[in-house]
Amino acid sequence: MVTRPHLMSRRTVLGGALAAGAMPLLASAQEGRDPASQEPTNVRIRMTFNRLPLTATLYDNPSARDLASMLPLDLKIEDYGRNEKIVHLPRKLTEEGSGPFGNEQPGDLCYFKPWGNLALFYADYHWDGLIRLGRFENGFDPLLVRGEFPVRIERI
């Protein structure tokens, strides 16, 4: 019997074809866990600072639900960099179900896992370690006001 290592058996070819056909099914099963693909919920929050209201719709993910469970909160909002304001939370949010997303845009409400703070973006950004919690409705002009202010965060 002569062996030909450069030739593949029918079983190997068939097994590879079946595995390749199953990959799209496995990938689509994981799509629901991608924070970028989550839909908005009917949960809305208001952040008020410097007598300026800012409203956001939360997404359907464990971190956003954890934030909503903590409300109302009276904290401090402050500038960070040239593209965001941040709010330090009294405790870290759950990171269950988090994952990267690639369609960042101004108006995103995110959670920065390493520091445990909210990140409210009013300009372009791209950072690792973020979980998108929701989007601001009707613009985000109040975020453009520079300074530190007391902030009230409540569910509406």
Backbone φ and ψ for 76, nearest 5 degrees, come out as: -130, 135
The structural domains of the chain, ordered by start, are: 35-155 (2.40.100.20)
pLDDT given for residue 100 in this prediction: 72
Between CA 92 and CA 16 the distance in angstroms is 44
Between CA 32 and CA 145 the distance in angstroms is 36
pTM: 0.74
CB count in 10 Å sphere of residue 59: 22
Between CA 40 and CA 57 the distance in angstroms is 6
| Banded model confidence at residue 75, pLDDT cuts 50, 70, 90 | very high
Give all strands (DSSP E) within 4-128, no chain letters.
40-49, 52-59, 73-80, 84-88, 108-112, 117-121
Tens of pLDDT, residues 88-143: 999 999 998 677 777 788 999 999 999 999 999 999 998 888 999 999 998 899 99
Q: Where are the alpha helices (H) located in the chain, listed in sequence order? A: 10-30, 62-70
Share of the chain above pLDDT 90, in %: 63
pLDDT given for residue 14 in this prediction: 42
pLDDT given for residue 29 in this prediction: 38
